Structure 1
Amino acid sequence: MSVTAVVDDREPDAVGAAVRAHPDVTAVEVRRLDAGDIVIGEVGFERKTVGDYLGSALGRTGTDLEAQVAALDEACEHAYVLVEGTWADLETHWPGVAAASIRGSAASITARFGVPVVPCGDLERLVDVAVRLARKHAEAPSTRPLPTSAVPSRSEPVAKRMYGCIDGVGPTTAAALYEAFPTVESLLAADESELLAVEGVGATRAAAIRAALCGPE
């Protein structure tokens, strides 16, 4: 499924170039957006570098992430904060800040606004995640009836919705993960044996879950 995208004109040229380079993007418009940095269909994305995220979420200067998220959530049907970095990058960028505070800021944004914070790795991966999320929200149902739980909904718990966005994790496995780990922080703290104990999670899927949340090891 091909998509068209709008990129805010205040974004670095590299962002627009990365969006244009994605094989599923057919057109890119660069203009001033009222909220967000990238919009694809009805899905808006706030793009943050590691430093931007920490400064806006935990710092006392610069932009206010909560205000940005509130505006994006108001403007778009679906909203996400995508970080151009991994959890490891976030947790080591400011040595004096506890990793738990950084994870807590992401959990707070996600829980208070229903807007997931997703570390993606590099810019290319961030764009790919954005395109995949937008497609998932826009795709028409297949001719085979799907269970209601297969379609992401704002009525679902935020953590469960995030688990369902991980590549290779379907609605059944997302539900099993949510039952075992009702918060993203609890999933991050789980060791491999705890992940493998979840029905539907084998070694390959466990590795994919860790890569999605923490970046490749």
Structure 2
Amino acid sequence: MTRRQVLAAASRCHTAEGGIWHVLTDHQEWSDAPLPLPQEPAAWYQLAAAGAWQAVVADTSHPVAHDLVAARAQGRTGLSAAWCSLPFTVPVLCAAASGAGVLALQSAVQAAIAEGLPLQRTVVALVATGDGRWPAQVRAAETMLQARVGAVIGVPYDPQIRSTGMAQPGRLKPRTLAAASELVRAVLAAAHATWGEPLPPAAVPAAAHVL
């Protein structure tokens, strides 16, 4: 694929400030079967390099703790470790701000510690599942995590996202936008603390030639 083809495949979204961000999506209904896409993080890094994007958000859904434990048991490199090994990667662990959510998150953090993953540049996003104060178990987990990861960001509940996703970003609550900005700042701070500011140039993958 050429750079022109990669950019043409991306949907363009305009920000209120006049900027543009791109979204690579299959435009299918939620009920449709997922496309058979490559799992290897290096494939997506290659795609990002082809598109010449300076910053890329890769949204994955694999369970981190299970991935780490399974990879160790099978003697292979797991997806989590492969993502973390890419140049200038800042992992963002997302969990529901609930008892079950933080239990799963704590399991993932313990597994990451055992595998030597870079928790010092990892950002945790605790996503509220409803209005009101967080349960005591969630607040305790937040305090514990502060000393182990780069940052812990609370994402408030927003019924607009629950009902329509990001189809109408202009209707998001101000506190949701504030949390998003805080999350971005935390990711950039983790990157700068690890590799310096400004960031050095990233390695560009070589083009693949099929004969």
Q: What is the TM-score of this pair, normalised by structure 2?
A: 0.35
Larger radius of gyration: 2
Kindly indicate which of the two structures has a greater share of residues assigned to helix: 1
> Greater share of strand residues, 1 or 2?
1
